[in-house]
């Protein structure tokens, strides 16, 4: 899904400009990199993240910016390709002189690219990518510049297994995961979580991006007696799994990582997506005033089809990442990378986001802002993700 809001982009830019004008800001902007896939199969996540970032930037600038300076986004489409991500990272650091970057949707791209920020001592806030190793890549170094505000796979895998084994009583499960770092690292986390329950999957199958026939993998899982299918992949291929199960007339539950909430899974799978469950740090339900205001602003600005965000989690976490970064810059009183990192590791006061209200979300040894307490289970019902009952 290539979601390209038109009227909104002008509206947000105008809103930013009006905010700067109203605040009388003539100072040099604070440049923030925004990196993600805005085209291709991962686009619902990347575009939603970027648009959530835009909303936060517009709001902050309308209130005077940070340190009396407007925030300025420097967007780059990494196309979900590691080699492109590497090129962009170097460009944003060396040419665009960003003070930090928010984004990274794909674990593979994050792991390839964020080393350049680590070397340059510039913080990265991963706001969508969930591979468990992302914040650990440089954790043994004296200074770690890699942060995250999305639910890591270490959290999601435990929740998926808890749902399948403990709550629903399945003893025979199959794992279908794509061949990317995201899929294979997630598969490893699932197997570890299952092992703690004394369970070994009856089938572990791999597939590639853009595969359109999952019949061989599904037949192996069915023949092995799987009572449920656990997944780690992204929307288009996940839809092929759901549709393949329908073709085989094999009706077992599908439980997987948060990406089962992607619009291009729900739309491409249609009725076959009904009932699938996945961990979610944010669900598009206006259950608090802060969330309602965010949802209303997003829908008004971008007018998504049917009022449904292409990837609500990505939008919300993108939005929150800017507020976390802005709070750190303000506290540091500086845009220097080491000072921003130090502030992130010891944020004073609360940062009110839409995923949660962040209270000292990071420390020197823990760069994960999202935990089990602010991650819930979603379920596809009627073409939307709702809170699972």
Distance CA 95, CA 88 (A): 10
Say if residues 55 and 319 touch (Cβ distance below 8 Å): yes
pLDDT band at 286 (very low <50, low <70, confident <90, very high): very high
Cβ neighbours of residue 163 under 8 Å, at least 6 residues apart? 255, 277, 377
Distance CA 85, CA 87 (A): 5
The packing angle between helices 215-223 and 235-247, to 10°, is: 60
Where in the chain do CATH 3.40.50.2300 domains reside? 7-151+284-375, 154-280
Give pLDDT tens digits for 317-332.
999 999 999 999 999 9
The enclosing H or E element of 381 equals strand 376-381
* CATH fit for domain 154-280, picks 3.40.50.300, 3.40.50.2300, 3.20.20.30, 3.20.20.330: 3.40.50.2300
Nearest one of 381, 267, 382, 264 to 314, comparing CA atoms: 264
> Which residues share a beta bridge with 71?
30
The total number of residues shown for the chain amounts to: 389
**Average pLDDT for the chain:** 94
Give pLDDT tens digits for 338-384.
999 999 999 999 999 999 999 999 999 999 999 999 999 999 999 99
Cα–Cα distance list, 283 to 66, 156, 179, 287 (Å): 29, 15, 28, 9
> Which residues share a beta bridge with 35?
76, 103
CA dihedral 204, 282, 110, 46 (to 10 degrees): 100
Structure token digits, residue 115: 């080393």
The packing angle between helices 312-332 and 289-302, to 10°, is: 110
In a 3-state reduction of DSSP, which class is residue 379? strand
Give pLDDT tens digits for 237-283.
999 999 999 999 999 999 999 999 999 999 999 999 999 999 999 99
Distance CA 361, CA 281 (A): 15
Give pLDDT tens digits for 90-99.
999 999 999 9
Give pLDDT tens digits for 103-152.
999 999 999 999 999 999 999 999 999 999 999 999 999 999 999 999 99
pLDDT value of position 225: 98
Q: Determine the average pLDDT of the residues in 27-55.
A: 97
* CATH fit for domain 7-151+284-375, picks 3.40.50.10260, 3.40.50.2300, 3.30.1280.10, 3.40.50.300: 3.40.50.2300
Distance CA 318, CA 73 (A): 12
Structure token digits, residue 295: 């949802």
Cα–Cα distance list, 165 to 48, 185, 204 (Å): 32, 20, 17
């Amino acid at each position: 899904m290539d979601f390209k809001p038109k009227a909104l982009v002008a509206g947000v830019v105008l809103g930013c400009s009006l905010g700067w004008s109203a605040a009388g800001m003539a100072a040099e902007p604070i440049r923030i990199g925004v990196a993600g896939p805005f085209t291709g199969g991962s686009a619902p996540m990347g575009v939603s993240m970027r648009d959530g970032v835009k909303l936060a930037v517009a709001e902050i600038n309308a209130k005077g910016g940070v340190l009396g300076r407007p925030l300025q986004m420097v967007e780059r489409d990494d196309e979900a390709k590691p080699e492109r991500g590497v090129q962009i990272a170097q460009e944003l650091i060396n040419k665009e002189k960003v003070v930090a970057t928010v984004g990274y949707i794909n674990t593979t791209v994050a792991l390839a690219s964020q080393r350049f920020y680590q070397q340059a001592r510039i913080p990265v806030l991963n706001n969508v990518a969930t591979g468990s190793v992302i914040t650990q890549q440089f954790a043994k170094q004296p200074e770690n510049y890699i942060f995250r505000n999305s639910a890591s796979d270490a959290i999601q895998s435990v929740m998926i297994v808890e749902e399948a084994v403990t709550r629903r009583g399945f003893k025979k499960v199959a794992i279908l995961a794509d061949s990317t770092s995201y899929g294979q690292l997630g598969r490893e986390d699932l197997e570890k979580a299952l092992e703690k329950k004394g369970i070994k999957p009856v089938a572990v199958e791999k597939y590639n991006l853009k595969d359109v026939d999952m019949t061989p993998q599904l037949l192996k899982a069915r023949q092995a007696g799987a009572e449920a299918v656990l997944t780690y992949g992204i929307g288009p291929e996940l839809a092929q799994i759901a549709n393949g199960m329908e073709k085989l007339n094999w009706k077992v539950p599908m439980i997987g990582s948060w990406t089962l909430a992607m619009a291009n899974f729900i739309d491409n799978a249609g009725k076959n997506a009904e009932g699938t469950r996945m961990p979610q740090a944010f669900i598009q339900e206006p259950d608090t005033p802060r969330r309602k205001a965010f949802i209303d602003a997003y829908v008004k600005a971008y007018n998504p089809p049917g009022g449904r965000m292409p990837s609500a989690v990505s939008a919300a976490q993108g939005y929150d990442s800017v507020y976390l970064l802005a709070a750190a810059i303000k506290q540091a009183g500086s845009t220097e990378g080491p000072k921003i990192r130090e502030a992130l590791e010891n944020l004073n006061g609360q940062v009110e986001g839409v995923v949660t209200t962040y209270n000292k979300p990071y420390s020197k040894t823990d760069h994960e802002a999202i935990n089990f307490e602010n991650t819930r289970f979603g379920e596809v019902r009627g073409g939307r993700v709702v809170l699972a009952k």
